[in-house]
Amino acid sequence: MLSPRKVKWRKPHRGRMTGTAQRGNTLAFGDCGIQALECGWVTSRQIEAARIAMTRKIKRGAKVWIRVFPHKAVTKTPAETRMGKGKGSPEYWVAVVRPGTILFEMAGAPDKQLQKDAMRLAQFKLPIKTSYIELDVKEV
Amino acid sequence: MEKIILTARARTGSGKSYTRKARNAGWVPAAYYGFGIAPVNVEVNAHEFGLLMSKHQHNQLVELVGEGVPSGAVAVIRDVQRDAIKRSVFYHVDFQHADDKRLVKTRAFLKLTGECSGVKEGGILTQTVHEVNIMGPIDKIPEVVTVDVTDLAIGGTTMASEVVLGDEISLITSKFRVVARVLGKAKRN
């Protein structure tokens, strides 16, 4: 699973997720991708589950790019803990996603329908509403 | 290359309020500028522009026709600002005047041709560049440029220098830019 090797601050604030993605909102590498339609936190487990779902469907017959990285640590206080005693310890890592962010890209699949199906399986693993997008090029 | 005629009109206002109203009324704010002409703020018909973007290549020559637009306003699309999610919503377009006597810089869609030998061996063909920057006279600008990948084996790469260009067309993209490569298929553990 993806996680930072080292971070400057172990317990970051939760922050706000207003607005749309100002960068990382276009296809940069592949022919198609998954674009977020709403904001949210995508955990490293969800990213990995989505990656596995699509690579298994295409039987490693295409190149997949993961365009988000879980930089943010989410802390949790243990169950049945009394109030106080400070902030909990980091539990998992999340990527902050805003509407428009491209989460995954894919290229080189033998069949367009297969590519779409693989992306669809990955979409089920994600906690936010997403859409499948293709590169905007016209065949001549 | 054929010219696409777009209905346009001179834009009287500017700013957030005016452009929002124009977009809601079915017009896309745009600017028309270039060498030897005075820049004009225009707005183009959103429906026609949407059709142009969905059916034609983006390096298509466009002729702007309408009230307040200088006659013979032939242009290439230099920049398009669109909604990142609703791709059919356009915010602003830049049209750069295409002069007959001057070379035009634009982009062309790159298409891979031929059956790649590396793919037959089990590799994955990846196109790393989908469009290249080219320069040439306006009547010679191609919609698509091609590159042959028939002899590309696993681990091999094709560079931009191998792209087939037409007469008088030159490549602006670095000739050392990798446009396609074949990745070896990973072995299962």
Q: Does A89 touch chain B (CB under 8 A)?
A: no
For domain B3-101, give the CATH number: 2.40.240.10
Predicted confidence at residue B173, as pLDDT, reads 87
Query: Could you count the other beta carbons within 10 Å of the beta carbon of residue B36?
Result: 8
Query: What is the maximum alpha-carbon separation in chain A?
Result: 67
Please provide the distance, in angstroms rounded to a whole number, between the alpha carbons at the two ends of chain B.
52
* CATH 2.40.240.10 domain extents, chain B: 3-101
- Residue B96 to residues B19, B29, B38, B62, Cα–Cα distance (Å): 20, 14, 11, 10
Name the residue among B84, B87, B130 with its Cβ closest to that of A20.
Answer: B84
Instruction: Check CB contact under 8 Å for B126 and A133.
Output: no
Query: Could you count the other beta carbons within 10 Å of the beta carbon of residue B88?
Result: 11
Q: Using the Cα atoms of residue A10, residue A14, residue A16 and residue A22 in order, give the sign of their dihedral.
A: positive
Q: Which residues of chain B have a CB within 8 Å of the CB of A133?
A: 87
Contacts of B14 (CB under 8 A, 6+ apart): B41
* CATH 2.170.120.20 domain extents, chain B: 105-183
Strand partners of residue B75: B62, B97
Q: Which CATH class is domain B105-183?
A: mainly beta
Q: Which of A133-137, B56-60, B68-72 has the highest mean pLDDT?
A: B68-72
- Three-state SS for A26? coil
Q: Does B183 touch chain A (CB under 8 A)?
A: yes
Q: Does A21 touch chain B (CB under 8 A)?
A: yes
Kindly provide the b/e burial profile for residues B178-189, where b requires at least 16 CB atoms within 10 angstroms of the residue's own CB: ebbbbbebeeee
Q: Does A23 touch chain B (CB under 8 A)?
A: no
The model's pLDDT over A73-132, given as tens digits with 9 standing for 90+, comes to: 999 999 999 999 999 999 999 999 999 999 999 988 888 899 999 999 999 999 999 999
Q: Does B130 touch chain A (CB under 8 A)?
A: yes
Nearest CA in chain A to B142: A140
What is the interface pTM, i.e. ipTM, of the complex?
0.73
The model's pLDDT over A59-81, given as tens digits with 9 standing for 90+, comes to: 877 889 999 999 999 999 999 99
Give the span between the Cα atoms of A122 and A49, in whole angstroms: 7
Residue A73 amino acid letter: A
Quick one: which of A52, A36, A33 has its CA closest to A44? A52
Name the residue among A25, A31, A60 with its Cβ closest to that of B186.
Answer: A60
